[in-house]
Amino acid sequence: MSKKVRVRFAPSPTGGLHLGGVRTVLYNYLFARRHGGDFILRIEDTDQGRYVPGAEEYIIDSLKWCGLEPDEGPHKGGPHGPYRQSERKALGLYDKYARQLVDQGHAYYAFDTPEELEAMREKYKSADNPSPQYNHTLRKKMRNSLSLDPAETQRLLAAGTPYVIRIRLEPDQEVHFTDMIRGEVRFSTTGVDDKVLLKADGMPTYHLAVVVDDHGMNITHAFRGEEWLPSAPVHILLWRYLFGEDKMPHWAHFPLILKPDGNGKLSKRDGDRLGFPVFAMNWTDPRSGEPATGFRETGFLPQAFVNLLALLGWNDGTGQEIFTLTELVDRFSLDRVHKGGAKFDFEKAKWFNHEWIKKLSAVEYSDQVAPLFAAAGITIPPADLERPGGEPEVPIIPIFADPLADITGPPPFDLAAYESVVRAATPVPNRFETILDLVKDRCTLLPDFVGQAGFFFQLPATMDLDAVRPKWNAAKDLFFAEYIRQLQVGGELTDPHALEAQFKEMAAAAGIKPGELLMPLRIMLVGGKFGPHVFDIAVMLGKEETIRRIGHTLGLLKA
């Protein structure tokens, strides 16, 4: 590409960040990184009536959790700031271009009050036209600089009469552009209304602001959801009138993320109804107090969240499903993005998380899991969190760091070189992390670790004795009493294989099948019929605790 790639994500700070928004961020980010470009965050706070305090910070925190850090933005600065539209409005950027359009005859002043607009909609409503629009047909019937004589227009302006500036669209014009996903797209202006460009409070609408800001920030590629396709004619005409279509960025409109049944766009209400999150992180609307659960708090790893979003509308054609962010950067191309919508499947989303929990060392996510134990009332001894040998000398490289130019060079990246540096920088697991690694194959969401590993840190609250009693007898009671004595005279438990061999030898000597003893041993240590290999559990519990738990259960069985 001849120009440096510059893409942007431009959300409105009106609420939580929907997973569709995060996918738009991801595709922008991957495209920018793939082509050595810049990814910009711009806050489009033009609608002050819908502005929600804290929403901007939430968006920034969500992108940070996902590992999709912008190169420029309101929190980082950059050479093309300011990055909030309210601040850009204060510089007069939008007003200047709106008045230029009026002077060129491409826009006009409209003085209609809200009451007059509502009356228009009622007066001209019909069966054939249930929602009348402010367009070439009706604008002559309204109060604007096209219907009023110039002297009256100047009088209203001089008197400070509130007005908006609307684009002037004539019917039967064809507007077309090439979409990088959908190919040639054509529109007729006949069904498009005269959109407001500048509101009465001087703030621009999205239509004007997105064009002015994309030009001012040298955006080369504008990627957004397909719901914005109907607005494309207005935006293309604004580019034509203000800067020239040759300066316009390349366009791509991503497919929708659909409800699980494929019937319409996925919404927060669908998540509430079906019991899964649709926002990146927890969000509580400060106005209504209405909470929404996020993927992070549900127990998703950011690697899994990003991975599953990448495949909601894209694949690399190989059938591979598990991708690191570096691999996604290396493989991503817009020609593999689908035109049709992608159905969201929460069970598949959990599958991605399960695969990533297994794939990563627990070192990568133990800091996310530890608070879950505390919340469940399970105390992790400080010694279990101490790292043997201290921290590694090589700084840890975040899994979602930008491509490492000094190591990998320009794309395609040398994944082996990248991963070798990551391995060299990975610290040795502490006892808590070693335990998590033992049980991670059984965990789909991070809260599952509490149920699967809580028994390592406290005596099980309940014991499934009903699973033991029906086949319990004096021979088994004597066996475990003897097993306790053997453990007492032996050394520390360090080798699960040796411990298993000893157990089976004792079972053979007692004339009892090992299988009849292994399940009671598991329940003695764990409280139920679950958990990793039973002798791995015993080694991790240690000699004294293993003896204590066996003795405790024997006492319960005699009661």
Cβ atoms of residues 1 and 31 within 8 Å: no
In the set 64, 76, 268, 504, the catalytic residue is 268
- The first and second tokens of residue 223, run together, are 């990627």
In the numeric block, the tokens 């928004």 are attached to 21
Q: What is the widest separation between alpha-carbon atoms in the chain?
A: 112
Amino acid at 215: H
Picking from 102, 104, 91, 74, the residue whose alpha carbon sits closest to that of residue 10 is 74
Tell me the one-letter amino acid at 223.
Answer: F
Contact in structure between 35 and 28 (CB atoms under 8 Å): no
Residue 176 CB neighbours (<10 A): 11
Spell out the alpha helix ranges (H) of 300-430. 302-310, 325-331, 346-359, 366-375, 382-385, 405-408, 415-425
How many Cα atoms sit within 13 Å of 284 on the Cβ side?
4
DSSP 258-294: EPTTSSSB--HHHHHHHT---BSS-EE-TTT--EE-B
Residue 1, amino acid: M
Radius of gyration of the chain (CA): 32
Contacts of 274 (CB under 8 A, 6+ apart): 260, 346
DSSP, collapsed to helix, strand or coil, labels residue 312 as coil
Q: Is 268 a catalytic residue?
A: yes
Contact yes or no for 196/209 (Cβ under 8 A): no
Place of tokens 């969401």: 445
Instruction: Return d(Cα 303, Cα 67) in angstroms, integer.
Output: 8
Using the 8-state DSSP alphabet, how is residue 250 labeled? E
Q: How many CB atoms lie within 10 A of CB 523?
A: 23
Tokens 């590409």 sit at which residue?
Answer: 1
Give catalytic residues, as residue numbers. Answer: 268
